[in-house]
Every structure is written in C-alpha cells, then in structure tokens.
Amino acid sequence: MEKQDLIIVSAVLKKDGAKVKKEKFILQKDEPKTIIRMSQKRKKLLCLVKEKKEISLTGLKAHIPTAPALIKPLAEAGYIQIVQRQVFRDPLGDPVEPDTPPTLTVEQETVVKRVQENLTRGFKPYLLSGITGSGKTEVYMRLVQDVIEKGKSAIVLVPEISLISQTERRFRARFGEKIAVIHSSLTKGELLDQWRKIVLKKVRIVIGARSAVFAPFENIGIIVVDEEHDTSYKQETGLRYNAGDLAVVRGKMNDCPVILGSATPSVQSYQNVVMKRFEELKLKTRVNRHPLPEITLVDLKKYKDGWGHDRIITPELSKEIRSCLDNGNQALIFLNRRGFATFPVCRDCGKSLSCKYCDITMTLHKGHNEYRCHLCGYGRPVTVKCPECGSSKIKPLGFGTEKVESMLKALFPDARLVRMDQDSTSRKGATIKILKSIRNRNVDIIVGTQMLAKGHDFPSITLVGVICADLSLSLPDFRAGERTFQLLAQVSGRAGRGDTKGKVIMQTYNPDHFIIEAAKKQDFLEFFHNEAPFRKALLYPPFSRMIQLKISGSSFAKVKAYAADIAEVLKVLRGNERKQKNMIQILGPVEASIQKISSRFRWQILVKSPSSALVNRLVKSLMNHPKVTPRSGVRLIVDVDPYFLM
C-alpha cells in the first residue's frame, strides 16, 4: 500500500512522560492595591511569608492545609506575589547529619597519597584490593574531596541499587547537596531532574548504578568503581556494555585516574595488575583493627539423611543463631535462591512442573500462592494439576529464602525476621525501608540473597550463616568458581564489622574444594593462583578475547539451521587467516544450557583468541557476509566479553 502511494508510513519521536517539575512560590509585597477582610488564617499566612521572605506552596501547606485557597484573593489584592519556579524532585530520602572525616589509618593514607601524587599525570587505572571492612569508602571520599577542591567532578559507581542508599548517605554526610543519584528505580521525573542538575552544574558528584557512567559531566577528575568484580555492571539487554570497562575508557578520554575497588577483585582485573596495566593499591587490615570473622565449615553430607530442619539449618548454625540473639546481636542468613520450593514434582508420574514458555522448573512462592517462572514471570496457581498425567499431587521439593524464613520463624519465634530478595523489594522504596530497619536494629535475623552480600556495613551483624555454599559451583559457565568465591568471601565479610568479633557458619557439600577453602581463609591470591592455570589452559578470559554469538527464535529448526550456517561461514573466514587461523577457536554451534526462554529456542557459538584484533576482525567479516543476512523469526546477537554463558 505504501508503494502504491495509498498510505504514508513515518516515524514519530515518542514524547517522554517526564516533565520539568514547577512549583508555586509566594513572595511578600510591600503595598496592597486593595484592602480585604483579614481572617485568622490569612493573617497567619501573611506572617509566615513575611518571616520567610519567600516560601513554597508545599511549605505553606505544612503550616496551613487550606493555603491553596487562601493565596489567590491575597495575590489579587496585592498582599503577596505568586511566581512559578523549577524545583527538583528529591530521591535521596531522609536528611543526613553532617559527619567529621575520621583519621585515616596508615594504609589508607598511603593509598590516598599515592593517587594524589599521580593526579597531575592524567589517566591511570588502579585496582584497590582491600579486605572487607578495610575502609575503601573513606579512601574514595578523600580522593573525591581532593578532586572537587580542584574544581572538577567525580563519578562513583556502585553495583546494586540497594548499595546506593548506604553510599549516598555517607557521601551526603560529607559533601551535603553536591550529589546527584542515577539508577533505574527512580521515576522518569526524578531521573530527568537528576540529569538536569548535572547538566546545569548544580552538583559535582554522581553516585549511581551502571548507567551513571554516562553522566553528562565535562570536567571529570576521578571515576570510582566500587565492588568492581560485580556482574551487575554488565548490561545484558539492549545496548550491551560493561560499566567497569567503560569507566576505564572514559577515564582515558577525560585524562583522569580510575579507581576499581573490591575485596574480591575479578580475575580479569587482577591479571591486568600482573601484566602491569593496572597499579595495585592494598588495604590489608580492617579499620579499628577489627579481626576478620572466624569461619567454620559444616559438612552437609553428615545431615543428608536427617529429618526436619536439620538438613537445611544444621544444629551448628541453629546453636550459633540462638547465641547471637541472646547476646542482643543481629544474624544474616544467606541463600542465593528465592522462593519457597524450587523443584515441584508430580508424585504420580515423577515429572517436574516446568514453565510452558521456558526450559526450567517453576518455583513455588507461598506469599503469592503460585508457582512462578524466574525467567519470564509466567505464573500458575498452587492448585494446578500435573500437565503430563492430570494428577493434583504436586510435591514441592527444594528450598529458597521463603522456606528458610518460615523455618527460622518456627525455630526462633521470639526473633524479629525480615527477608530481603527480589520478591520482597519489588515495590518502590521497599529496599530502603528494609535497610533502614536493619540499621536501626528493628530486626534480629535477616534472610537475604546476594542483594545483601556485598558492600553493606551493619556493625550489629555478628553472625553470617551460609545455607548452601555450593549452589553456583557446578553451573556450566567458566566463571562459576569465580562467582562462588566472590559471593562467599563478600557475604562472610558482613560479619564482625563492629566491636564484637564476627562468626561465619558455612554449610557445604564440598568442604575440601579449593574455592571453599580459599573463601574460608578469605584469601584471594590462593583462589587466583589455583584458578588462573585452568583459564590459561582452556584459553578463557583473561587469557583470550571472547565473543558470544547468540541465535534465538520461535522455530527450533530455523534457529538450528541459522546457527549451522553461521558456524560454517566462521570456519571459512577463519581459513582465510592462513598463518593465524590456529590462534582462533570456534566452539559450537550448540544449544544453550537453558534451551528455551520466553518461547524462544536458543543456540550459541563462542569465538575466542589470544588476539582481540583477530577475533574482532573475524566477527566483523561475519556480520558483512551475505549468508548472514537477517532471517524472518530468527535473531542474532553479538555479545563481546560475555558474562553469562547459560
């Protein structure tokens, strides 16, 4: 129809729903034009305006709720003037008391001076490897303060939205209102206001999740990436990027230092230290000389035939929780799996209850009274019958944070419990509310997933219980061991940050595994020296550049055929490299570990080489090849340096 000039198809830029927020402000006028009758409320209003010289309508309403109806006649008579001005929505929460900078430890001072010495030399990436509780945030604040005093700006990235609240409070206590916050939980209006504050140069510091790396500062003096190892820095949809890598790129573009901080650095970053690309800065002791927590391993194989709670909350852990509560302290119980039961099975035919759109089993969520798929969100009522045999006897096996919470309530009825996972923090403001209750000690036991494992500083938590340390150890992903070590070391570091020595009870089926042993000792170097040889032998990052080609579509046959065509083209193009073809490995095509998500079948191909130039050139040639033209119903995604291979 368009070709026959019957219709016109045009693209129109969609208007954003967010607008600049304006508010009425009331100003005092010297001489009224006409005299009107003065009620008690009008007199009170005029007194307030006279006292304040200028006051917002919102401020007036706090004193006189009927102020909107009172101001119009007063303005018409000339007693007051009403003006509209732009105001900024405040996503920062409660006011914060100003703090006094503490005296730096010798180690902190050495680190700060080292960076300050090199500030004039422009771009330089640093890896700040400090054990949990060693005062990395104070180092960031001193360096940011130094940069601001020189008239420049600073970007501070944190991985989780739940961490932004804590970091923002500490920075606001030091720097007041010079701060903007950027993350996906803000409303469109709040986000627009924060962005405008930066553009209008009303703030000098941006704190935010990965998207904050794009903050529109011109004169950047330093970029900080806290918990640099965290996988949350990788954007997995739409524009794929790694905020940690982009921070280094932006630091180079702005000729300023970049601080990558972590107690458990990524293997990639530490290899950059080994190769002398990054300079390592170390913090080896906790602030105030607090010792690292004592970690006890509990072998779950002893309880595999146990009954009741013992298989999940072992007697050793239960005893320590009771002791912790009796001493008036808080306990953090960690399990990186949400829901109540993670493996519902039909008692009659033995088939598991799977999502009809994805290739995974559904999880029972008792709070919502439904089975739910954690990939696409599809739900089924708890009364559902087995799709295979029609039986209503569905047995909920497995466990998640919801089940652990209910067990702890039964074991410790006198304790106040709170659960912090994706389900309990889905509402706006819920995360901050839970964190505030933990900080104010309104809860005794916190059950949480990895949201609580990183970076949080709660001095009253003296016990950390890890329900199952092996959950992510055997996943079909070369980074599974690294993620397990980081998670265990980080969650262990939440204990004993106050005056009382911390304890960690780590329940595991593999107490002799080198990753569990390294996590017990909180020894990153032991983990790195064990892990690196495996990566090198198999040519995985950081010893190669890797690109993942993801092929997906609604037809299994079409996806499989397209994946085979792409692999064939890749092998032909690799053959054209002659001398260098042996330096490129092509793995696949193969079905992804999770073969179907949201009714789309998934195949993948991995291309890796020690030379990033070679692998980039090969994939660019592939994308321009006539055999790889887009096909109906099939999607090809190129993911450079992928973080998840499942």
Range 529-533, long-range pairs (CB < 8 A, 24+ positions): 531/267, 531/481, 531/482, 532/267, 532/271
More confident residue, 312 or 290: 312
Q: What's residue 145's pLDDT?
A: 94
Query: Which residues are CB-contacts of 387 (< 8 A; sequence separation ≥ 6)?
Result: 351, 353, 356
Kindly state the percentage of the chain with pLDDT values over 70: 98
**pLDDT tens digits for 535-583?**
999 999 999 999 999 999 999 999 999 999 999 999 999 988 776 778 8
Q: What is the mean pLDDT of residues 447-455?
A: 82
**Residue 92, pLDDT above cutoff 60:** no
User: Does residue 589 have a cis bond before it (omega within 30 degrees)?
Assistant: yes
Residue 353 confidence (pLDDT) above 70: yes
CB atoms within 10 A of CB 191: 20
Q: Contact 141/174 with Cβ under 8 angstroms? A: yes
* Res 325: pLDDT: 93
- Please name the residue ranges forming H helices in 200-291: 243-253, 267-274
Q: Given a cut of 60, is residue 467 above it in pLDDT?
A: yes
Give the model's confidence band at 90: pLDDT under 50 very low, under 70 low, under 90 confident, else very high: low
What's the chain's average pLDDT? 89
Q: How confident is the model at residue 287 (pLDDT cuts 50, 70, 90)?
A: confident
Tens-place pLDDT, residues 610-630: 999 999 999 999 999 998 888
Place of tokens 């008792």: 366
Instruction: Give yes or no for residue 94 having a pLDDT over 70.
Output: no
Task: Specify the pLDDT at position 177.
Answer: 82
State the sign of the Cα–Cα–Cα–Cα dihedral 539, 542, 543, 544.
positive
What percentage of the chain reaches a pLDDT higher than 90?
53
Q: What is the pLDDT of residue 96?
A: 66
Q: Are 574 and 522 in contact (CB under 8 A)?
A: no
Sheet with strand 379-381: strands edge to edge: 363-365, 370-372, 379-381
pLDDT digits (tens, 9 = 90+) for 570-611: 999 998 877 677 889 999 899 999 999 999 999 999 999 999
Token pair 């949990």 is found at: 132
pLDDT of residue 109: 94
Q: What is the pLDDT of residues 24-72, one digit of tens each?
A: 888 888 778 888 888 888 888 888 888 888 888 888 888 888 888 888 8
pLDDT at residue 560, rounded to an integer: 96
CB proximity list for 182: less than 8 A, separation 6 or greater? 191, 194, 195, 206, 207, 208, 209, 211, 212, 215
Query: Would you state the pLDDT for residue 428?
Result: 75
Q: Which is higher by pLDDT, 534 or 18?
A: 534
**Residues in CB range of 286: below 8 A, 6 or more apart:** 131, 132, 133, 134, 135, 292, 497
pTM metric for this prediction: 0.83
Per-residue pLDDT tens for 319-332? 999 999 999 999 99
The per-residue pLDDT for 188 is 86
Set out the domains of the chain in order of their start, with CATH numbers: 22-86 (1.10.10), 106-288 (3.40.50.300), 290-338+400-534 (3.40.50.300), 341-398 (no CATH), 545-640 (3.30.70.360)
Whether residue 91 has pLDDT greater than 80:
no
Per-residue tokens: 381: 């009522």
